[in-house]
Amino acid sequence: MFESILLAEDDANSRKGLTQFLQGLDYDVMTAANGKEALELFKREKPDLVISDIRMPEMDGITLLESIKADAPSAKVILLTAYGSVEDAVRAMKKGAFYYLTKPVNLEELELLVKKAFGSHHLEEENKELKQELFRERFDRGQLIAQSSKMKELLITVDKIAASNASVLIEGESGTGKELIARRIHELSPRRQHPFIAVHCAALTETLLSSELFGHEKGSFTGATDRKRGRFERAHQGSLFLDEIGEISKDTQVKLLRVLQEGEFERVGGTKTIKVDVRLIAATNKTLLDEVQQQKFREDLYYRINVIYLKVPPLRERKEDIAPLVDIFIRQYATLNAKKIRGISKDALDALVTYDWPGNIRELKNIVERMIVLSSGEMLTLDQIPDDLRAGKSNGLIGQAGMECVTRISDAEKEMIRKALVDNKGNKSVAAGKLGISRRTLYRKLEEYKLT
């Protein structure tokens, strides 16, 4: 099941006994010997459930509960005490404890309580995911518009294969919406009630990627101060999306092949074999078969992930989709920027349709947002479109060289946001003020750059 539990207990024998019992129920257990250590571990690892003794050195269980709730209001905390006083129980429940047990702990009662806590947690997660899906329904799913014949054919295929467990390889240029296609496959599959976990392989070094995918044990490498669950574990019974899979090293390819063939792996530095049930969806902006022929990508792994092949067409080959996409982006960014925009003029839309869009949908989205920010009226006009784009040149503001410039600017913006959060100890309101942007804009940027 792979749910994680943080056990805070100062008595070594009790800690060892409860850990063995919970691990025997197939839970992933991390331990702390006092409240201060437990709080640091909670903030770093974000376990699904906390079980804590009330009477502990350095920080008692009630203070730990208050600190956890301040950091994560929806966190589930079960408190234990050898004293069993009504006063302690009432105080714990008022502070937000999920439940309260007296020591010595009745293990059957603990097992039932833990299952109840996880059931409640999953329900809350489903409600949270539903709200996120409703938001995506309003904005993101519009990007899968299929007015063009190529997109209609693609989505028909997606809908057909979604119900299977087969691995999927999605190829397409950057910015064409490969992750949206992957999400649609997951949402239409029997796995939709389980996690969709995305990993952007090109953004991680080989060591970090192995740790992200498979997790690691405490002390397995410099900086590995605690055990960490990997993305495969977190995606159990759901879908794992590996973006830019063509960038992974040969060593990681070998490990990935084993998981796909055997359904099992070991954490980095670990010896325990972990079994998982995960559907793999991979994406790349390369032609992966060419990488195989150049011996940059393993042939056996290629055929393992390429059970179903999907090719996402570039925007220049689906011009019929530009107008409805523009309409979606106008509504999205007008709302985010508090602008009253009714639409776009015909000559401005004609210019957008004429352009070749080397940056695909991502570039179109950026241009529409730029037009909205620059607009002073209720209609977007030709004057707000960059000159080179207006002329229909694909080597202009966001041509190939221009896209590299935009990437550098985005990297700089991402680093500024990260630094502002670090400098202000994660306080988003203060960070937004320092950056000179609204909290809404900051949250959007955090989502865009996957800094959440």
Give me the CATH number covering residue 320.
Answer: 1.10.8.60
| In-domain check, residue 131 | no
**What would the mean pLDDT of 262-276 be, rounded to a whole number?**
90
Give me the CATH number covering residue 32.
Answer: 3.40.50.2300
- Say if residue 306 is in the same domain as residue 245: yes
CA distance 279 to 277: 7
| In-domain check, residue 129 | no
Query: What pLDDT is stored for residue 440 in this prediction?
Result: 66
- Say if residue 220 is in the same domain as residue 247: yes
Query: What pLDDT is stored for residue 282 in this prediction?
Result: 97
Mean pLDDT check: name the lowest of 120-129, 135-144, 197-206, 299-308: 135-144
| pLDDT band at residue 421 using 50, 70 and 90 as cut-offs | confident
Last residue of a domain, one of 390, 411, 432: 390
Q: Which residues share a beta bridge with 265?
A: 274
- Say if residue 185 is in the same domain as residue 288: yes
Give me the CATH number covering residue 422.
Answer: 1.10.10
Tokens of 194: 């389980």
Query: What pLDDT is stored for residue 10 in this prediction?
Result: 92
Query: What pLDDT is stored for residue 398 in this prediction?
Result: 40
* pLDDT reading at 120 higher than 70: no
Burial of residue 436 (CB within 10 Å: 0-12, 13-18, 19+) is exposed
Last residue of a domain, one of 287, 313, 339: 313
**What would the mean pLDDT of 416-436 be, rounded to a whole number?**
76
- Say if residue 160 is in the same domain as residue 286: yes
Q: Which residues share a beta bridge with 31?
A: 7
| In-domain check, residue 210 | yes
- Say if residue 162 is in the same domain as residue 290: yes
Burial of residue 295 (CB within 10 Å: 0-12, 13-18, 19+) is exposed
Domain that holds residue 354: 316-390
> Each residue of 94-114: pLDDT tens digit?
888 888 888 888 888 899 888
Exposure on the CB side of residue 135, measured as CA atoms within 13 A: 9
H or E element, residue 423: helix 400-423
* pLDDT reading at 156 higher than 80: yes
Domain count, the chain: 4
- Say if residue 10 is in the same domain as residue 82: yes
- Say if residue 289 is in the same domain as residue 174: yes
Last residue of a domain, one of 282, 313, 344: 313
* pLDDT reading at 244 higher than 80: yes
Average of per-residue pLDDT values in the chain:
83
Whether the pTM exceeds 0.75: the reply is no
- Say if residue 276 is in the same domain as residue 368: no
**What would the mean pLDDT of 181-210 be, rounded to a whole number?**
89
- Say if residue 73 is in the same domain as residue 203: no
| In-domain check, residue 423 | yes
Query: What pLDDT is stored for residue 102 in this prediction?
Result: 83
CA distance 332 to 427: 26
The share of the chain scoring above pLDDT 70, in percent, equals: 86
| In-domain check, residue 130 | no
| In-domain check, residue 11 | yes
Give me the CATH number covering residue 194.
Answer: 3.40.50.300
| In-domain check, residue 102 | yes
- Say if residue 376 is in the same domain as residue 428: no
| In-domain check, residue 141 | no
- Say if residue 377 is in the same domain as residue 256: no
- Say if residue 185 is in the same domain as residue 295: yes
> Each residue of 34-43: pLDDT tens digit?
999 999 989 8
More confident residue, 277 or 2: 277
More confident residue, 208 or 363: 363
